[in-house]
Every structure is written in C-alpha cells, then in structure tokens.
Amino acid sequence: MRMVPLLAQVACLAGLISLVPPVWADDPDTSAIPEPPAQQRTPAASEDDPDVSSPLPGPWLRLPRLPESKEQFGLEACAGKIYAVAGICSNEETSSCFVYDTDNGQWSAIAPLPYNAQSVCLRAVKGRLFCFGGYHHRWMIKYPNVWLYDPDADTWLPRSPMPVAREDAGSAVINNQVWIVGGLTNPGHQLVAQIDVYDPDLDAWVQSLTIKPHEGDWPGRALGDFACAVGDTLWCLAGTETTENYPFLQPATLGFLATPTDMAYLPIPDPRCYAELEVIGDSLYVVGGCRTSTTDYADTMLILDLPTQMWRKPVPLPYGARGQGVCSWGGILYVAGGYDGQTRNDFCLWLGETSDKYDMSLGETQNQAEDP
C-alpha cells in the first residue's frame, strides 16, 4: 500500500455482516504490551460497594465506580490519570467532569466543562487534555468549541474552534495531531464526510480531508468514539448512514484507505455501531455498542490481531451497553459507564493480556476464560 504525501493511511472499520464464518486467530504475542507502571496497580472498589462481590465474566477487575452515572461521555487517560468528561446523566446533558488517580484509586471532581454536552471527543496529546465539540439535544445545537484542560488552575481554556461543529465524531492522535472524523453537524443531523486535523502546538487546524462514500459505506453514522490510531494509520468504525430513527446497521466493512477512493476490505465478525475503539500493542479492541437496534446491546468485546488481521475469540464484557467510555493506560484497558436501559456508573479494567503482570489481590475478579 502506498502512502500519499501529507495523508496518513486511513482504515475504515465498518460492521458488515459477513456471510463467511469468521476465522479466529490464536492468541497473538503479547510481549510487545508494556509492563504496567507502579501507579497502575490500582486499588479495587471498597468493600462497602454493594456490587463489589458480583461476579465478572472473564478476567475483569471492578474498580471504584464513577461518582455519577454517565453515557455518551469522554473517557481518556492523560499523565497517569483518567478523565471522565461531560455526557448524559439522568437523561440530560451534563458538564460534570471527574478524574481518577491511578496512584490512589480514587475519583475526584474537577472543573466542569463550560457547557452541558454529550458526545464530545476527548484526546490527550503530549500530556495535555483536549475536548472537542459535543451536542445538546434540547437546544438542538452541535458545538464547534475546543477546550484545553489546565490541571494547575483547574479550568478549561478555549482553543481554536473546529472548522465544522460536530457531535458523535471519531477522534485519534496521529503524529501528535488530533484527527476529528465524520460525525453530525448543524442544522439537524447532517452527516460530515470530512476529516479535520488539529495541531495542538500551533493551536491551528492544519488539514481537511474529504472522504468519499464507497458504495454507501462511508462516512456512515457510527456514533461513539469510533476512531483510533495505529501508528500513522487511522481506523474507523462506520455504521448506518441514515439518521432517521437510528436504524442499525447498513452494510459496511473493515478496510484500509490509502486515498479517498482507494479502499480494500476485510469482514468484521459481529457488526455493530455505537461502539468504542482502542489500541493496545498489536491489538485493536471494539468494545460494546449496538447490533441490530438501539436496545440490542453488544455484550462482547472484539479483538483484532493487527499483524495477522485476524479476529480473536470474542471476550464477554461485564455488561452489554452502548455509549461507554473506553481508554487505555500503561497497556491496560479501562471501560466505564454506558447505557443498557439505564445509565451506568461502572468502572472496570480488563486483565486479559496483563494478568501475569498484575497483582490480582488488588481487585474483585472472576476469571472464567482461559483464552481471552
């Protein structure tokens, strides 16, 4: 595959129902996954937590719950801390923000976002936390705003706004620049067939790329934080293109995009949207989401072995939901919140590829899966 000058490789991960049974890869070599630093040895939830003894499927560890229930919020790790920003709580957009200290295993409130919003993009670049866009359903407005969190002053500082106001966009960091992918914009719920690239050092939007649809698969309405980066390659999870009553899913596939019209495809074994993507080492994780309707909650996590481009066996999640927050720190995957008929405040950690490096006595877990 050739590289295009000034254009990183882009891959579209889109949930096509494959007619061919998926081939599951053997467990990939996890030696490339870094040893979790000392501060990642996180205390488990308090014994006073009424749900602390409830069994978890597979190698999951329950951590202290979010201070409030959240769905469609931003979750991101930055400088050894995990931030939960904005989202929906009690069926309303919220501006509340919290930080989890991986040193002491406790949540603390921080300055709220300057407006109530759901479906923001949250990304960390060189130890700085940025928040992009969002949506307020009562005001029917998508925000173009960009904010930088200053932990010393505990405040959100305005930065150059996005070229296109967005909600439900994907985001990824490539070469220390933030790529904002697709999403919905004003008025109404117009789909955005565009990628905009933000340089935090310049506080400037330095590039825009128009993504052309391929047989109706792109850009698609994926919902959730459906993008991530593998080196200088962008991966995206696309779902339905129509916004009428949220029908799921339109046919779509897993592919690589070298130019806006040059794509090659691979199948995804369990199609879904409203899911979250994350990369650790040589593995790409597709967490939660919805399958055929907004109430068909995916209760498994898909894992793609990037070197072989083969899917591993699905991993049971602690609970099926959409609108979860997902991030990683020190080679460890964190999953929080989401909606499964009610907005949740769960906060869990997956030990599937790090159990031999982690003190299992620090948390409540039930390992039911020998092969994650």
Residue 258: what are its φ and ψ, rounded to 5°?
-90, -30
The segment with the largest mean pLDDT, out of 41-45, 79-83, 185-189, 288-292, is 79-83
Give the mean pLDDT of 145-161. Answer: 98
Write the single-letter amino acid at 33.
Answer: I
pLDDT reading at 50 higher than 90:
no
121: pLDDT confidence band, cut at 50, 70 and 90? very high
Across the chain, mean pLDDT equals 76
Q: Is the pLDDT of residue 33 over 50?
A: no
DSSP annotation of 101: E
Compute the average pLDDT of residues 124-145.
Answer: 94
Query: Which of 144, 188, 147 minimizes the C-alpha distance to 169?
Result: 144
Alpha-carbon dihedral 292, 76, 165, 8, rounded to 10 degrees: -90
pLDDT of residue 21: 38
Res 294: pLDDT: 78
Q: Which of 7-16, 24-33, 152-161, 201-210 has the highest mean pLDDT?
A: 152-161
Q: Which of 217, 181, 222, 221 is nearest to 198 (CA)?
A: 181
**Model pLDDT for residues 177-196, shown as the tens digit of each residue:** 999 988 888 887 777 878 89
pLDDT in tens, 249-295: 343 444 444 344 444 456 678 877 778 899 999 998 999 988 877 78
Residue with tokens 């960091």: 173
| Integer Cα distance of 274 and 229 in angstroms | 18
- pLDDT given for residue 253 in this prediction: 41
Q: CA angle 232-355-33, nearest 5°?
A: 20
- Residues 11, 277: contact at Cβ < 8 Å? no
Residue 304's pLDDT is 87
275 vs 68: CA distance, rounded Å: 21
Residue pair 269/311 in contact (Cβ under 8 Å)? The answer is: yes
**What pLDDT sits at residue 199?**
98
Query: 55-69, 165-179, 347-361: which has the highest mean pLDDT?
Result: 165-179
Say what percent of the chain tops pLDDT 90: 47
The per-residue pLDDT for 150 is 97
CA nearest 211: which of 179, 242, 188? 179
pLDDT score recorded for residue 182: 83
205-215: pLDDT as tens digits: 999 987 665 54
Q: Tens digit of pLDDT for each residue in 324-358?
A: 999 999 999 999 999 999 999 999 999 876 544 44
Residue by residue, DSSP assigns 223-256 as -SS-EEEETTEEEEEE-BS--TT--------EEE
Mean pLDDT of 5-33: 38
Q: Are 92 and 358 in contact (CB under 8 A)?
A: no
In this prediction, residue 94 has a pLDDT band, given cuts at 50, 70 and 90, of: very high
Q: Which domains does the chain have, with CATH numbers?
A: 9-40+53-359 (2.120.10.80)
Q: What is the band of 139 on the pLDDT scale with cuts at 50, 70, 90?
A: confident
Q: What percent of the chain lies above the pLDDT cut of 70? A: 67
Minimum mean pLDDT range among 24-28, 66-70, 178-182, 344-348 = 24-28
